[in-house]
Structure 1
Amino acid sequence: MALPTQNWYASWFDTPYYHILYKDRGYDEAQAFMRALMAYLKPKDSAKILDLACGKGRHSVFLNSLGYNVTGVDLSKNSINHAKQYENESLTFKVHDMCKPTKNTYDVVLNLFTSFGYFEDDEDNLRTIKAIKEDLKQDGVAVIDFMNVANVISNLVPTEVKTMKGIDFHIKRYVKNNHIYKDISFKDNDEQFEFTEKVKAITLDDFKTYFKKAGLTLINTFGDYQLNDFNLETSKRLILVFK
């Protein structure tokens, strides 16, 4: 039986089951979001973009197809190995811990699809924000696409069973100690697996505190992938633009 480790994301994200469970994430929605975001940010044609916690690279590949020079980084070796098949002269992928600066600078740094707030130590969240600052060019801009905690908690589905590729994923969701948990258990080939996702319930005010400590300025907030205004009660996303 696979048990959660202290850094749950290091083990869970590197399993094939993570990608099986979430394989229905919409590429069309992701691409529409990137188009809307680039139209808003208006980066130059040759802009260098960092996709922080890029997973298998779906956003990176699409942004590169729009003409940008893109670097995708992720902690998961398996995800990066998969993404490397798409590499070209203006698209590269690397294994990297987002708590640390990349030692390069970019016009745009993106952290998408709630790829933040995983750390056991809250100081690591601030370290990541500070690392993003170091990764930005002087006139660069960054975007964090996070969940709207208030909306997620008020609409939390406590239990469900999701069947993907013949595997029944039993999912339990709950809030504990200012974190949103998702317990995932399933059986495959007569072996039982258990993993737990844990994300800090970071609010807009929390992010503002991180930005202030890191010497960054919040420019705008959006509440969905169509870049509508953020509403604390109804918005599903909290998309933060800062520099």
Structure 2
Amino acid sequence: MTKSTKQWYASWFNTPYYHILYKDRDYSEAQGFMDNLTNYLNIPEGGKILDLACGKGRHSIYLNTLGFNVTGVDLSEQSIKHARQYENDTLKFNVHDMTKPYPDTFDAVFNLFTSFGYFEDENCNLETIKSIKTELNKFGFGVIDFMNTNYVIENLVEENIKTVEGISFHQKRSLKDGYITKDITFEADDEQYQFQERVRAFTLEDFEVLFKKAGVHLLDVFGDYKLRKYHHKTSERLIMIFK
């Protein structure tokens, strides 16, 4: 039996296998990014941050240790269920669709680790940015941390196998119809699984069009987690600050 999904982000993120495949993510790098970002934005002590598409909450939890009042939201019920064990008076998690405004305002709204551009409906991308605008208070900043599509395409590894916890994940990557896709197949617990990650191949110019339509202003662009200058060919990340 092969288990798969069309609305991939709604179910793939809900599986334990997603977190197994990506368990080797660099947490120290992620924490360094949060240090650099909050210092750059000069978020006030005790300031409110919305972590949009927070997953299991690794960024939210760390931001909270820095003294910020953090709300993490995600579409994945399983991820939020896991994250809630870390809740306290200044750290909360909720299941929420990021295309709709969250009923509060914040000093910063972070959308991190390429948690954008998944939607089947193109309009959902614009609605997400409009929602972020609504979620920002008068002095708030929005941040989208996206892949640098130019760099990814130039360095695309078409196929490989990654073995984690005894599971061999076969990964095939391609650029098709304006999306970067990754087809993932593997066997676990005596069953065959098949998932596809599909992310819109947005460039900086594409985001600029969306920002204009949403009525927000792009303030700064960085190319990595140390907040160094963005270069469209060589930077690994596309980190955009707007309000």
Secondary structure in 2 matching 1:185:
strand
- Give the equivalent residue in structure 2 for 1:57: 57
1:199 is aligned to 199
| Whole-Å separation in 1 of the counterparts to 2:82 and 2:190 | 27
Render the CA deviation track for 1:145-190: whole Å, top value 9, x for unaligned. 0000000000000000000000000000000001000000000122
Counterpart-to-counterpart distance in 1, 2:166 and 2:46: 44
Distance 2:110 2:207 in 1: 15
Which runs of no fewer than 5 residues in structure 2 stay unpaired? none
Instruction: Give the CA deviation at 1:26.
Output: 1.0
Q: Which residue of 1 aligns with 2:155?
A: 155
Aligned length: 242
5 Å matches for 1:1-243? 1-5=2-6, 7-243=7-243
Shift of 1:46: 1.6
- Superposed structure 1 runs of 4+ greater than 4 Å apart: none
Q: Distance in 2 between matches of 1:54 and 1:80?
A: 8
Deviation of residue 3 (structure 1)?
1.3
d(CA) in 2 for partners of 1:238, 1:203:
8
Write the distance in 1 (CA, Å) between the matches of 2:241 and 2:188: 41
1:2 is aligned with what amino acid?
K
Amino acid at match of 1:133: K
Query: Once the two structures are superposed, what CA deviation does each residue of 1:69-123 show, in whole Å capped at 9, x if it has no partner?
Result: 0000000000000000110000000000000000110010000000000001110
- Structure 1 residue matching 2:156: 3-state secondary structure: coil
Residue identity in the other structure for 1:120: E
2-side partners of 1:231 and 1:28: how far apart? 24
Listed as ranges, the gaps of 5+ residues in structure 1 are none
Q: Superposition RMSD on alpha carbons, in Å?
A: 0.5
Distance of 1:190 and 1:64 partners within structure 2: 40
Separation of aligned partners in 1, 2:91 and 2:190: 40
Look up the equivalent residue of 2:184 and give its one-letter code.
Answer: I
Which whole-Å CA distance do the structure 1 matches of 2:173 and 2:47 have between them?
40
Give the distance between the partners of 1:36 and 1:189, measured in 2 at CA: 41
User: How far does residue 138 in structure 1 lie from its aligned partner after superposition?
Assistant: 1.5
Tell me by how many angstroms 1:214 deviates. Answer: 0.8
Identity of aligned residues (%): 60
2: CA distance between counterparts of 1:108 and 1:43?
Answer: 8
Amino acid across the alignment from 1:231: H
